[in-house]
Chains A and B, each alone.
Chain A
């Protein structure tokens, strides 16, 4: 564990908590893509199956349990509890265009052809693109609430911080995982346009609005 890894995890944790607070306090999931949230739930379920086979640390287990619970909880809030506020007219990204290619890719490019390893690889590939329905929704409506943009900023920063962690680990531990690194870079690149808008607009107190 290094400082970048810890900062990345805390940023990921903050993103999820910001999203839950937004939904809970406003009793609404307006502006949030349910499809992205379903993809994140699939990501965590397929990645953290090793909770049952492999104990790493109390920290690791606690974070995995939290991510699993919160992602499933978010899907529950969006599709059941606050269903009426879910903006499904604007949430139209076809997730099969993400699920099928990432599933195929994980069957071809993996470290080992075993069920656990393929599911882990699938979750890494899927995570890298899981935010696309959300970004698509923001571009479709042309704006995002401030709290939604804080959520996106924290979520995007997390993988960026992991990249610094991987650079650190490569230099100081001689460890690298090419699948995680490439997917993590793709994931971070997808946020670049958003980061630019966040820094130039939201941090200056303006609402995130896309140029017409």
Chain B
């Protein structure tokens, strides 16, 4: 899994 625009982690 490449880009993660939805970054839920802090």
Interface residues of chain A, those whose CB is within 8 Å of chain B, are 5, 9, 12, 50, 54, 56-57, 60, 63-64, 67, 111-112, 116-117, 120, 162, 165, 174-177, 180
Contact = CB atoms under 8 A, between A and B. Distances in A.
A208 B10 CA distance: 30
Contacts of A116: 5
Interface of B: 1-10
B6 A54 contact: yes
A106 B5 CA distance: 16
A165 B8 CA distance: 13
A162 B7 contact: no
Contacts of B5: 54, 116-117
A162 B1 contact: no
Contacts of B3: 111-112, 117
Contact of B2 (A5, A63, A111, A120): A111
Nearest to A8: B10
Given A64-B10, A111-B3, A177-B4, 12 more contacts: A5-B9, A50-B7, A54-B7, A56-B7, A60-B8, A111-B2, A112-B2, A112-B3, A162-B9, A165-B9, A175-B1, A180-B9
